[in-house]
């Protein structure tokens, strides 16, 4: 019996080493679902397509390629947020968007959406299959685009087309994972070497593009006596085994990295598209190396912009450099970093009070107890801050989040993808109460597939980052409070243990119990709603804005809340200054 188009697509996905498809099945997806059932691929039935797209994004980041699917109309729309996340984070992902039957297209039919228009802004490749002879070339081209361009490819698949008989094409049906060496020309490297050799104080700043070059970055920093800062996405790769690291900068960063970047004569940006211009120095010389030359110079005024893989570029550059002997600049930055790290322990040593446990203390304890190869996922907002500052990079740990798209609710579904892709590893989701509430239904997916995900809820009863943004802007926070359900009871209802933690002295034993449990576990920790995350550089208008918002709270009758916030804010500002 001849195979149909759905079976042909699944066979090609098997050949591309796809292990699972994240989806909510529906009528236009039924033929694909049936084909998957007969294959080696697992259909992961998530409760919401957005969660499926986030789970696929996590798998793509960890393993290099993943697939999600959505049925016509609402299924497509639900996918969009997670698809944007994958595309903006340059993660190779294939989206199968099944559509209404082809003869009804353009007729305002039930659940009709235009996949070409809908996915155009979040994909490198976006095409509709309408004929059997298209299938092999279209699917192969889509996968090739996703892997080669590092982003999303979308295939529109009408439900009636998926059941047609398949046709073999004369073109290739294989996936080609190329590994080309990209580095600057010899002349460019000589010019860069001359610039570095004549500079007395050099700082290196790395992003996710340097994730495979830890050893080379460390060697370069030792050779140049240069401190090394890094972005949030670059932390897990660049921090380990790096004696010259000085932390990260940006909105979630530390004064030490900011200081090292601004005090240098020459700043070398390696594999980073650092978006926060306000934290970028303007008085020193800046060089940027990136494998995507279209990104060069769009964040800072550059002395040189070079296209190249970070590892290969450093390997070719090192023989051209003169080893530096003056260690004063590096010594100053490392000493400052030690003071910053000591200040970071303020809220670890003072862990808070009942129902106001310091999240810094929680994260520090989690970092201490988690395994050396744990995979952490962090919700956007305050959880990102605590993860950035208190989770330590090792040779093996990973940290996943919505670092470019900045969406809420990503941590729990990303943990689903991470746990399915790496069942032998400890997966820890650091969830905000706002983020967890948004996609609460997929806690059931964790139980259905018996995933040993550890969910740590930082329950501050508010949208913490939004609250801070409003206060910094001089506005009293409004409608940021969360009236939450009992998350521990919800976990029990979903089929696995949950525990509420109200006191600081309960934290360590509760986290130990959670991490040691053989299966999924939810820990609901009542953290301090006034815990503050300030950037490494505080501007006068930010202080004035917070002062204004506190005054408005007092005048509005919220004296106790305002005083608690002022007390917390003053302590944080003092620590940074």
Q: Are residues 365 and 447 in the same domain?
A: yes
pTM: 0.90
The pLDDT assigned to 531 comes to 84
Is 90 exceeded by the pLDDT of residue 101?
A: no
Structural domain includes residue 452: yes
Q: Are residues 335 and 315 in the same domain?
A: yes
Structural domain includes residue 174: no
92 vs 464, more confident: 92
Q: Are residues 213 and 101 in the same domain?
A: no
The pLDDT assigned to 566 comes to 46
Q: Are residues 322 and 455 in the same domain?
A: no
Which pair of tokens denotes residue 124?
């490198």
The pLDDT assigned to 472 comes to 63
The pLDDT assigned to 225 comes to 98
Confidence of residue 553 (pLDDT cuts 50, 70, 90): very low
Output the domain CATH number for residue 152.
3.40.50.970
Q: Are residues 312 and 230 in the same domain?
A: yes
Q: Are residues 243 and 298 in the same domain?
A: yes
Mean pLDDT of 471-481: 70
The pLDDT assigned to 231 comes to 93
| Helix count and strand count (H, E) for the chain | 23, 20
Is 80 exceeded by the pLDDT of residue 545?
A: no
Structural domain includes residue 175: no
3-state class of 93 per DSSP? strand
Structural domain includes residue 173: no
478 φ/ψ sector (left φ>0, alpha ψ -120 to 50, else beta): beta
Output the domain CATH number for residue 196.
3.40.50.1220
Confidence of residue 577 (pLDDT cuts 50, 70, 90): very low
Mean pLDDT of 7-31: 95
CA 154 to CA 97: how far, in whole Å? 7
Structural domain includes residue 120: yes
Confidence of residue 274 (pLDDT cuts 50, 70, 90): confident
- pLDDT tens digits for 208-233? 999 999 999 999 999 999 999 999 99
Structural domain includes residue 254: yes
Q: Are residues 67 and 136 in the same domain?
A: yes
In the chain, % of residues over pLDDT 70: 90
Q: Which of 133, 149, 41 is nearest to 96 (CA)?
A: 41
The residue among 297, 319, 339 that closes a domain is 339
The pLDDT assigned to 327 comes to 97
Is 80 exceeded by the pLDDT of residue 320?
A: yes
Q: Are residues 553 and 480 in the same domain?
A: yes
Mean pLDDT of 152-165: 95
The residue among 311, 339, 367 that closes a domain is 339
Is 90 exceeded by the pLDDT of residue 110?
A: no
Is 50 exceeded by the pLDDT of residue 273?
A: yes
Alpha helix stretches (DSSP H) within 23-121: 30-37, 49-63, 74-88, 115-118
The pLDDT assigned to 181 comes to 93
Mean pLDDT of 307-330: 98
Structural domain includes residue 356: yes
Is 50 exceeded by the pLDDT of residue 499?
A: yes
Confidence of residue 536 (pLDDT cuts 50, 70, 90): low
Q: Are residues 470 and 564 in the same domain?
A: yes
Which helix (H) or strand (E) element contains residue 71? none
Mean pLDDT of 318-340: 97
Structural domain includes residue 176: no
Q: Which of 24, 30, 74, 71 is nearest to 47 (CA)?
A: 24
CA 529 to CA 558: how far, in whole Å? 15
Q: Are residues 321 and 377 in the same domain?
A: no
Q: Which of 259, 247, 288 is nearest to 393 (CA)?
A: 247
Q: Are residues 298 and 255 in the same domain?
A: yes
Whether 135 and 7 have beta carbons less than 8 Å apart is answered as: no
- pLDDT tens digits for 385-409? 999 999 999 989 999 999 999 899 9
The pLDDT assigned to 436 comes to 96
The pLDDT assigned to 542 comes to 45
Whether 462 and 481 have beta carbons less than 8 Å apart is answered as: yes
CA 533 to CA 572: how far, in whole Å? 8
Confidence of residue 467 (pLDDT cuts 50, 70, 90): low
The residue among 315, 339, 363 that closes a domain is 339
Confidence of residue 546 (pLDDT cuts 50, 70, 90): very low
In the chain, % of residues over pLDDT 90: 78
Q: Are residues 494 and 451 in the same domain?
A: yes
Total number of domains constituting the chain:
3
Mean pLDDT of 143-151: 97
Q: Which domain holds residue 49?
A: 5-163
């Amino acid at each position: 019996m001849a195979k149909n188009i759905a079976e042909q697509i699944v066979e090609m996905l098997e050949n591309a080493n796809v292990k699972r498809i994240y989806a909510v099945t529906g009528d236009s997806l039924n033929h694909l679902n049936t084909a998957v059932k007969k294959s080696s691929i697992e259909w992961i039935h998530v409760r919401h397509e957005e969660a499926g797209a986030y789970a696929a994004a996590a798998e793509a980041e960890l393993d290099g390629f993943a697939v999600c699917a959505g049925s016509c109309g609402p299924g497509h729309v639900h996918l969009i947020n997670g698809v944007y996340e994958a595309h903006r984070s340059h993660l190779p992902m294939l989206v199968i968007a099944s559509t209404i039957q082809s003869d009804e297209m353009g007729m305002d039919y039930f659940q009709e959406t235009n996949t070409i228009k809908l996915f155009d802004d979040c994909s490198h490749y976006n095409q509709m299959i309408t004929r059997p002879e298209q299938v092999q070339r279209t699917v192969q081209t889509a996968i090739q685009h996703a892997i080669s361009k590092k982003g999303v490819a979308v295939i529109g698949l009408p439900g009636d087309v998926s059941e047609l008989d398949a046709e073999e094409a004369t073109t290739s049906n294989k996936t080609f994972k190329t590994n080309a060496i990209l580095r600057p020309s010899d002349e460019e490297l000589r010019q860069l070497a001359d610039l570095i050799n004549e500079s007395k104080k050099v700082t290196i700043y790395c992003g996710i593009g340097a994730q495979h070059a830890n050893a080379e970055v460390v060697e370069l920093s030792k050779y140049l006596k240069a401190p090394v800062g890094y972005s949030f996405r670059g932390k897990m790769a660049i921090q380990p085994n790096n004696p010259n690291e000085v932390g990260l900068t940006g909105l979630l960063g530390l004064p030490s990295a900011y200081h090292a970047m601004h005090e240098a004569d020459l700043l070398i940006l390696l594999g980073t598209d650092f978006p926060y211009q306000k934290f970028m120095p303007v008085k020193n010389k800046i060089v940027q190396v990136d494998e995507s030359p279209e990104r060069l110079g769009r964040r800072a005024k550059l002395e040189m912009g070079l296209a190249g893989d970070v590892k290969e570029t450093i390997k070719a550059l090192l023989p051209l450099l003169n080893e530096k002997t003056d260690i004063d600049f590096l010594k100053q930055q490392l000493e400052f970093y030690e003071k910053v790290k000591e200040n970071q322990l303020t809220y670890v040593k003072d862990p808070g009070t009942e129902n106001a446990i310091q999240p810094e203390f929680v994260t520090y304890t989690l970092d201490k107890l988690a395994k050396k190869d744990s995979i952490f996922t962090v919700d956007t907002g305050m959880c990102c801050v605590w993860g950035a500052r208190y989770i330590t990079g090792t040779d093996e740990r990973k940290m996943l989040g919505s670092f470019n798209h900045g969406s809420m609710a990503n941590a729990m579904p990303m943990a689903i993808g991470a746990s399915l892709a790496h069942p032998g590893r400890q997966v820890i989701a650091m969830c905000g109460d706002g983020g967890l509430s948004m996609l609460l239904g997929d806690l059931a997916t964790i139980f259905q597939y018996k995933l040993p995900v550890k969910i740590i809820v930082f329950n501050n009863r508010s949208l913490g980052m939004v609250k801070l943004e409003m206060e910094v802007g001089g506005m009293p926070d409004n409608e940021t409070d969360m009236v939450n359900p009992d998350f521990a009871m919800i976990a029990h209802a979903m089929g696995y243990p949950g525990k509420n933690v109200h006191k600081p002295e309960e934290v360590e034993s509760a986290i130990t119990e959670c991490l040691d449990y053989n299966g999924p576990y939810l820990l609901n920790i009542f953290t301090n709603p006034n815990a503050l995350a300030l950037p490494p550089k505080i501007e006068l208008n930010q202080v004035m804005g917070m002062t204004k918002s506190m005054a408005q709270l007092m005048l509005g009758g919220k004296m106790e809340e305002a005083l608690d916030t002022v007390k917390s804010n003053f302590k944080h500002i003092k620590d940074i200054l």
